[in-house]
Amino acid sequence: MKLETSLRSLKGVGEKTEALFSKLGIRTVGQLLRYYPRDYDIYREPVPIGQVTAGGKQAVSGMVCSQVSVKSLGPKRSLVTAKLRDDSGTLLVNWFNMPYLRTTLKMGGVFVLRGLVAEKGGRLVMEQPELFTPAAYQEKLHAMQPIYGLTAGLTNKLVTKLVAQILDSAPEWPEYLPEDIRTEAHLAEYNFAVRQIHFPRDMEGFLAARNRLAFDEFFFFILALRRMKEKTEESPNEYPMEAVWKTEEILAGLPYRLTRAQQKVWGEIEGDLKGKKLMARLVQGDVGSGKTVLAFLAMVMTAENGYQSALMVPTEVLANQHYQALCELLEQHGLLESYRPVLLTGSLTQREKRRIYDRVALGTAKMIIGTHALIQEAVEYDHLALVITDEQHRFGVRQRELLAGKGLTPHVLVMSATPIPRTLAIILYGDLDISVLDELPARRLPIKNCVVGTSYRPAAYRFMEKEIQKGRQVYVICPMVEESEGLEAENVLDYTEKLRGIFPEGIHIRALHGQMKPAVKNEIMEQFAAGEIQILVSTTVVEVGVNVPNATVMMIENAERFGLAQLHQLRGRVGRGDHQSYCIFVQGKEDQEKTKRLEILNKSNDGFAIAAEDLRLRGPGDLFGVRQSGLLEFAVADIYRDADILKEASQAAGMVLDLDGELSLPQHEGIRNQLQAYMMREVDNLGL
């Protein structure tokens, strides 16, 4: 089976299933194979019955110690009940609609049962467990069943079956890493890795698979970057610029003075734009360190020198916000008419888009802000000299290649709040010059944090009401949009309703989530920014970049479900103005390990310190932790946890390129093809 084959050619995939998969961005067999499980259901050693607890899935081993009863619950519906005993206790077990179990479950028979345990009427009951003889369970022991990320309508069983179907039929695809690299880095073969990541034989198989796939992700990421770097180093600055007075005027007109860190970084950017080589710079600065104004200054300098610049961001909400802020700034200095900034996003109508394309192509629009719509085929630029990407490292990388494909080689500035320790940043972004904003604006009061259980909510609501009375605003974050079966987490829609019942009429509460139409999202965000909404109940769509300095309370429900870096980003939505701000982390489920991790956030507001501490706490064994952050989207690799693999991949990439910069040697053919496929996928991931 070819990797490009459409999912439709699989047995059991019709139009409906195809549509569900396409929601997950999966259209081909190859894409499904790269859709790795997000977790595994592991067949562990049975636990003593006396230690069984309500909640999770557990296995117990024991003897049937009662007559099995079968109760009829109506036509074709029945309830089988048995009791299982071991040295430590007895456990009640239920099965629905499986009356034939009566003959299997003889009194005195010994079995292993594996299932969910619930508390019912004060007693623990295991429900609908799988049933094994001890010998059969021994065979299964340590097996890992994949658990996939799903969307409503798609079952784990179906995804599992389809992956198995592909793996059964697929011809072995070629290994593309030369043997010497694999030996050097102790890597499993690719086809072994793909099989094992879906259906690990055991923990060892899984680890081998994971290492190999993480290596590949880093390796191709780094190769792509290095190849680009060579291109830039050869590239002279075709858009030489001069420093301009307008930027000084704008600086003088700001309601604040730049921090020393901002001044230093602005100096570096200005120097690059005036320099002999093309700029390729990463600006790293913690949330709230003031990156946006630097982007605007660079855009003004570019426009004053007669060129165009583009600012690209990951979400429409953020694009809209930056656009408003830029227009306001230009207006104050009478520059709106001469620069004519435009906003270009995917949700514009074709007509609106065409109008904007025209203005961009003619060069009347000197500044363009938007999402990835900015680099869509149809957009032609007049004199594009500078591209800035905000809050998305990888965007910067892909987009550069795309622009190069259109014959454009602008200066590139990448701005990011994802804290990456400098040593790792140099490996990952070795091709970029790195500037660090290591200082927050002076007058900022540190955010006050607390980690609480759900019983604290009434107190939190009273506190929020007080802040609102003072004129401030509040974010409440829930992990889900709506109620979903099997997942116990707060959702935006129900939570909004609940809060409306609790808070007085005059307080406006609105819901915001990613499934809304972009225009609706923007409208709500604008109303929130204008202070017309007091409480915004939202998913993580506000995670990156959103700036409403008047908001002072961030309450995060089910905080245990988010990665620390992500929580830090969310918290960064408050504490952006002069008022004291607060962050309330609500734990849905108390769990010591997770409490410990939240405590890190409770104690520190420093993104870099948090990342380092998170890494230390997690240790190498914790492979299924919540993902670090949505911002550095590797599928299996994690730059913190896999720092060693990252270094190895970086060395390997360096060796390959030193030997064969063009990847033209026969032994590198596999790498060359794979790199090309990788770049295409990256473009694909942009959703173009």
What does the binding site for ligand ADP look like in residue numbers (CB under 6 A)? 256, 258-259, 262, 285, 287-293, 417, 441, 545, 547, 549, 576
How far apart are CB 328 and Mg ion at their closest, in Å? 16
- Count of residues in contact with Mg ion, rule CB under 5 A: 1
Compare residues 93 and 326 and give the one whose CB is closer to ligand ADP: 326
In the complex, the smallest distance separating the C-beta of residue 628 from ligand ADP, rounded to whole angstroms, is 18
CA–CA distance, 509 with 325 (Å, rounded to integer): 24
Pairing of strands 110-120, 57-64: antiparallel
Min separation Cβ 631 and ligand ADP, Å: 13
Tokens read off for 473: 């605003």
SS3 of residue 466 by DSSP:
helix
Return the SS3 of 683: helix
Contacted entry of Mg ion, ligand ADP, none for residue 308, CB cut-off 5 to 8 Å set by kind = none
Q: Which residue's CB is nearer to Mg ion, number 315 or number 628?
A: 315
Give the CA distances from residue 654 to residues 366, 581, 651, in Å, rounded to whole numbers and listed in that order.
Answer: 39, 46, 5
279 binds, among Mg ion, ligand ADP, none (CB under 5 to 8 A by kind): none
Binds 100: which of ligand ADP, Mg ion, none (CB < 5-8 Å by kind) = none
Residue 78 interface partner, choices ligand ADP, Mg ion, none, CB cut-off 5-8 Å depending on type: none
Sign of the CA dihedral with 663 first, then 666, 668, and 673 last: positive
In this complex, which beta carbon is closest to Mg ion, that of residue 82 or of residue 546? 546
**Among ligand ADP, Mg ion, none, partner that 574 touches (CB below 5 to 8 angstroms by kind):** none
**Residue number, 434 or 507, with CB nearest to Mg ion:** 434
Question: Which value, to the nearest 10 degrees, does the dihedral of the CA atoms of residues 185, 188, 191, 193 take?
Answer: -100
Structural tokens at position 273: 């734009």
* Single-letter amino acid, residue 288: G
Distances in Å between the Cα of 441 and the Cα atoms of 391, 436, 542 are 19, 14, 22
CA distance 678 to 671: 10
Spatial distance between the Cα atoms of 362 and 366, rounded to a whole number of angstroms: 10
CB-based closest residue to ligand ADP = 290
Closest approach of Mg ion to the CB of residue 290, in Å: 8
**Which residues are within 8 A (CB) of 344 and not within 5 positions of it... i.e. 6 or more apart?**
353, 356, 360, 368, 369, 370, 371, 373, 374, 379
Nearest CA to 369 out of 311, 307, 293 is that of 311
Least distance in angstroms from the C-beta of 664 to Mg ion:
41
285 HSE (CA, 13 A, CB side): 27
Q: How far apart are CA 522 and CA 520, in angstroms?
A: 5
Q: Compute the least distance from the CB of residue 547 to Mg ion, in Å.
A: 7
548, interface contact from ligand ADP, Mg ion, none, CB < 5-8 Å by kind: none
Q: Which of residues 163 and 311 has its CB atom nearest to ligand ADP in the complex?
A: 311
d(CA 206, CA 254): 54
CB of 528 to ligand ADP, least distance (A): 14
Residues 506-565 that bind Mg ion (CB under 5 A): 545
Give the contacts of 394 (CB within 8 A, at least 6 positions apart): 221, 632, 633, 682
CB 417, min distance to ligand ADP, A: 6
In degrees and rounded to multiples of 5, residue 678 shows phi and psi of -60, -50
Write the CA distances from 66 to 71, 113, 116, 424, 687, integer angstroms: 15, 16, 21, 61, 59
CA 406 to the chain's CA centroid: 29
518 binds, among Mg ion, ligand ADP, none (CB under 5 to 8 A by kind): none
CB of 583 to ligand ADP, least distance (A): 15
Least distance (Å) between residue 683 CB and ligand ADP: 26
Residue with tokens 């890494």: 615
CA-to-CA dists, residue 618 to 331, 442, 590, 600, 684, angstroms: 49, 33, 18, 12, 33
**Residue 477 beta carbon to Mg ion: minimum distance, rounded to whole angstroms:** 18
When the beta carbons of 284 and 558 are compared against Mg ion, the nearer one is 284
Q: Does 575 bind Mg ion (CB under 5 A)?
A: no
Question: Residues in the site for Mg ion, rule: CB under 5 A?
Answer: 545
